[in-house]
Amino acid sequence: MTRRGGLIINFSTGDATSMTIKSAIKRDVTHGVLMLVAWGVLMPTASAAPRMKFLFPDGKWFLMHQIGVVVGAVVFVTAGAMLLAEHDEREDAHSESSTFDAHSRIGIAVGFLWLAQFLLGVFRPNKNITDSARFGFIPSSWRKAWFLAHASLGPITIGLASVALVLGAVLIRDKYVGETDSGVKFLADGGVYGIMAAVWFVCAFGVWRDGFAKAKGGLENYVAREPTPSESNRNAREMRFTGITVSRG
C-alpha cells in the first residue's frame, strides 16, 4: 500500500481510495464505536444497577452505577467533541439527508437529557427525612419527586440514544456502500444491533434475577423515610466526626 497524491493505493487488491474518504471513515467509525460503548453498553448497565441491589449489596450497586455513568459520560463527550472538531460539511453529502437530520437532532436531545440527569444526580435530596437539607437548600421531602424524575428520565434518555445508535448504523451503511473497512462492516452489518441486544438481555436478566431473589428494590428505597436504628447511629457518628449538630425541635 502506498500514497499517490490524494489517493491511497492498495497494490494487493488494485483498489485506490481517496485520502479524504479514508479520513472520514476513520472519524465516523471512531465516533460510532465510542457512542456504542457509551450508550449501548455503559449507560444501560449503569441504569440497570439500581434495580440489582440484591445481586450487588452494601452499596456495590451504587458504585457500579457511578462508574458506568462517569465513564460513559467521558466516552460520550469525547465522541461528540471529536465529531464536531473534525466534521467538514463539504465532504459529507449525507449531511442533508433526513436520516442524518434525525440522527443529529436526537443526539442533541440526548445530550441535554444526559445533562439534566447528571444535575439530578448531583443535586439529589438526602435519603433520610431527618437529615439536613442537601447543600443547605434541598429538603429530604423532595426525595420522592426527585426519584420519579430521575427514574423516568433515565429510560427516556437511553431509549432516544438507542434510536440515535440505530440511525447512526444506517448512516454508516448508506454512506460507505461497498467499503471493506472492518469498522464500517462491524457498524453497518449488525454489530450495533448485536451489542445492544446482548447488553439489554444481560441487564434484563440481572433485574429479573434480582426480583426473583426478592430484593428490596423500587420506590420505597428512595423516598424520604425515617432512618433505621443502624442508620441513625451511623449518621450520629458522622455528625460528631464533622462537628455538625442538628436541632431536633
What domains appear along the chain, each with residue ranges and CATH number? 23-222 (1.20.120)
Residue 95 has a pLDDT of 60
Indicate whether this model's pTM tops 0.75. no
Q: What's the mean pLDDT in 42-48?
A: 94
Alpha helices in 176-228 (DSSP H): 182-186, 192-212
Q: The sheet that has 7-10: what strands, in order across it?
A: 2-4, 7-10, 15-18
pLDDT, tens only, 87-118: 555 455 556 688 889 999 999 999 999 999 99
For the record, the C-alpha cell of 152 comes out as 423516568
Q: Chain-wide mean pLDDT for the chain? A: 78
Instruction: Please report which confidence band the pLDDT of residue 57 belongs to, taking 50, 70 and 90 as the band edges.
Output: confident
Residue 231 has a pLDDT of 47
d(CA 202, CA 188): 23
Q: What's the mean pLDDT in 139-145?
A: 88
φ, ψ (nearest 5 deg) of residue 99 = -65, -45
With a cut of 50, say whether residue 42 has pLDDT above it: yes
Residue 21 has a pLDDT of 76
With a cut of 60, say whether residue 172 has pLDDT above it: yes
Instruction: Please report which confidence band the pLDDT of residue 51 belongs to, taking 50, 70 and 90 as the band edges.
Output: confident
- The H or E element that residue 99 is part of is helix 98-122
The residue whose grid cell reads 452489518 is 189
pLDDT, tens only, 176-197: 888 888 999 999 888 999 999 9
The residue whose grid cell reads 428520565 is 153
| Nearest C-alpha neighbor of 138 from the set 119, 120, 125 | 125
